[in-house]
Structure 1
Amino acid sequence: MTMQKQMDLAEWGMMLVLSLLWGGSFLFNGILVKALPPFTIVTGRVLLAAIALNLIVRVMGHAMPRDGKSWVAFFGMGVLNNMIPFCLIVWGQTHIASGLASILNATTPLFAVVVAHLLTADEKMTANRLIGVVVGFAGVAYMIGFDALHDLGSNVLAQLAVLGAAISYSFAGIWGRRFRAMGMPPLLPAAGQVTASTILMIPIALIADQPWTLPMPGMETWLALAGLAILSTAVAYVLFFRILATAGATNLMLVTFLIPVSAILLGALVLGEQLQAKHLIGMAMIAIGLAAIDGRLMSIGRKRAV
């Protein structure tokens, strides 16, 4: 059976908000890498997010699961969705430009289509889905500018790190499907995965970075860390699991196409940056790609044929 889930307006709205939250993570990381080492950034991110989400769990009257099956799922999600990609992206951003990092990060749906095809029974690869992913990826590259690809080939390890993060996100989307079957509301796996990630990251940061030896960060660094933890992690992952439960892993990974769009639109609206023709063309290509993956182009074509 092949699932061609068309997302409704509410799901697309949550995807847009999620893209804004995750788009901000590149900005926050760009500030933080100037003052803190990578493992300390990642640990601070998941630690603050875990504190916030566990407080919300208590306020909402929920109780975190205590059974081993749930915590195996939390730790697996924490490794695939937090620990591996966060460390790889932060480290990669210390060596390559953010534009190239965004393009490499946008390969996530390409990997997601392949991984979902191999590991699931209801999210198989289809021609329109594959074409849509390729068109959407091309739209991201065109919108950001192919000049960002000029550095492709230099700092190969940093580029492979960002690609590794994209692959890890793809497997995380499949792993996270189990939480719906376990009957968990989105808040619980969001809190569980960052809690598990915190447990794993604290000893790594203490051994590798020795953060107590670092100079006290300034206010800008603290604000960037708070934004990264609360907005780009805690709030973002509640939305992540909500979308995953209803729209599926492949559709969810499409958010990486929307992240550059959100960043450019925010730059135009908030910072007064100029929208260029390549931005509009790239956004149109992304829209066509998303519609193809969502199955809407095929539906429109069949209706017109009738």
Structure 2
Amino acid sequence: MKTMTEKIFTHPLGIIAAAAGATFLWGSAFPFVKLSYAELNIGKEDVFEQILFAGYRFVLASILILVLMKLIGKKVAYQRGTLLKVGRIGLFQTLLQYVLFSYGISSTTGVQGSIIAGTTSFFQIILAHYMYASDKISLRKMIGLVVGFAGVILVGISKGSLTLHFGLAEICLLLAMFFGALGNVMSKKESEHLEVLYMTSYQMLLGGLAIMAIGASGAGLLPFEMTWSTTWMLLYLACISALGFVVWNTVMKYNKVGSISMYLFLIPVFGVFLSGAMLGEELHMFVWAALVLVVSGIVIVNGKRTKAPTAGSETPGQELTQ
């Protein structure tokens, strides 16, 4: 019998609400990180400060989840034999993803970062091809991947010229999205054996402490002059990390990778428009074109087609996810 959690996260409306909520939170991270850097005077060259701030965010996020677990009566103590499992997820989903993300977003615009974030869906599709026998890449998926990555290339074209600006920062963001996708797929596998709240909190704690150690090695442990404004922004970023990953890891636990990856297209949608509204970044023609390509690619990849019925197969009109 399905639990209440499983019923919620497998119901179509539950999936839409959860996925849209998680992607909205992640999309809002782009302008908020940029605003935090500006408030704390963290420049493009302040790499260790960027990394340290990310470490603060994820250690705080893990603590928030642990407090939630305590409040709802779940065990928060470390479970023997889980270190390798949560450590492996923390390496990819937190440490590698956000070390690269922290540097990448500091040297590019919130709009560019948001659109590049759309590639997470493509990376998940590619990884699922090798990790799940039922999620192989078809011709349709390949077309979608090509269309989507064309959008990522286009986002590097500056306004009014055909000059490509796709440098180290954008490469770091692409790598961050790849490691994030890998962490997402790995968390789905491990959630079969670990409770989602426990898995998410401890992978964030281990990954966050490692990020803090890297940042502190070059910037010290407390280099920032925190104000009420920067404290609020740090708390918000920690909350969106905690809530976003708990919700996303839960919806991943109960559904196929291919069936929910399409919702990741909402990250660039939310991120682009929030960056435009909060940072005043111009949404010029290349941004709109890139956004259309990325979203189109993800829709193509995750679209459904009707399979012709055969004897003993599905009933006419039943859709099969490819």
TM-score by length of 1: 0.80
Alpha-carbon RMSD: 3.6
Q: In the alignment, which residue of structure 2 is the partner of 1:90?
A: 102
C-alpha deviation, 1:194, in angstroms: 1.1
Match of 1:219 among 220, 224, 228: 228
Contact 1:45 1:225 survives alignment (8 Å): yes
- Over 3 Å counting, the alpha-carbon distance change for 1:267 and 1:291 in structure 2 is same
Q: Could you say which structure has the higher helix fraction? A: 1
- Over 3 Å counting, the alpha-carbon distance change for 1:106 and 1:27 in structure 2 is same
- Over 3 Å counting, the alpha-carbon distance change for 1:245 and 1:77 in structure 2 is same
- Over 3 Å counting, the alpha-carbon distance change for 1:275 and 1:299 in structure 2 is farther
Q: In the alignment, which residue of structure 2 is the partner of 1:172?
A: 183
What is the identity, as a one-letter code, of the residue corresponding to 2:234? L
- Over 3 Å counting, the alpha-carbon distance change for 1:30 and 1:131 in structure 2 is same
- Looking at structure 1, the residues matched to 15 and 288 of structure 2 have their Cα atoms a distance apart, in angstroms, of 23
- Looking at structure 2, the residues matched to 32 and 113 of structure 1 have their Cα atoms a distance apart, in angstroms, of 32
Q: Does 1:206 align with 2:216?
A: yes
Contact 1:140 1:282 survives alignment (8 Å): yes
- Looking at structure 1, the residues matched to 184 and 271 of structure 2 have their Cα atoms a distance apart, in angstroms, of 23
Match of 1:63 among 75, 78, 97: 75
Q: In the alignment, which residue of structure 2 is the partner of 1:3?
A: none
Q: Does 1:299 align with 2:306?
A: yes
- Over 3 Å counting, the alpha-carbon distance change for 1:249 and 1:61 in structure 2 is same
Within 5 A, what are the aligned runs for 1:70-85?
70-85=82-97
Q: Does 1:181 align with 2:192?
A: yes
- Looking at structure 1, the residues matched to 101 and 52 of structure 2 have their Cα atoms a distance apart, in angstroms, of 13
SS at match of 1:33: helix
Q: In the alignment, which residue of structure 2 is the partner of 1:38?
A: 50
Q: How many residues align?
A: 293
Q: Does 1:11 align with 2:49?
A: no
Identity of aligned residues (%): 20
C-alpha deviation, 1:30, in angstroms: 0.2
- Over 3 Å counting, the alpha-carbon distance change for 1:284 and 1:217 in structure 2 is same
SS at match of 1:196: helix
- Looking at structure 2, the residues matched to 15 and 69 of structure 1 have their Cα atoms a distance apart, in angstroms, of 31
Q: In the alignment, which residue of structure 2 is the partner of 1:48?
A: 60
What is the identity, as a one-letter code, of the residue corresponding to 1:56? L
Worse-matched range after superposition: 160-169 or 218-227: 218-227
C-alpha deviation, 1:10, in angstroms: 2.0
Worse-matched range after superposition: 12-21 or 193-202: 193-202
Q: Which runs of 5+ in 1 are unaligned?
A: 1-5
Q: Does 1:163 align with 2:170?
A: no
C-alpha deviation, 1:11, in angstroms: 1.2
C-alpha deviation, 1:80, in angstroms: 0.4
C-alpha deviation, 1:77, in angstroms: 1.0
- Looking at structure 2, the residues matched to 72 and 236 of structure 1 have their Cα atoms a distance apart, in angstroms, of 23
Contact 2:112 2:156 survives alignment (8 Å): no
Q: In the alignment, which residue of structure 2 is the partner of 1:102?
A: 114
- Looking at structure 2, the residues matched to 269 and 20 of structure 1 have their Cα atoms a distance apart, in angstroms, of 14
C-alpha deviation, 1:161, in angstroms: 1.0
Contact 2:156 2:164 survives alignment (8 Å): no
C-alpha deviation, 1:116, in angstroms: 1.7
- Looking at structure 2, the residues matched to 97 and 273 of structure 1 have their Cα atoms a distance apart, in angstroms, of 8
List per-residue Cα deviations over 1:117-155 (Å, max 9, x = no partner).
12332322122333334445556777x79547966445x
Q: Does 1:258 align with 2:258?
A: no
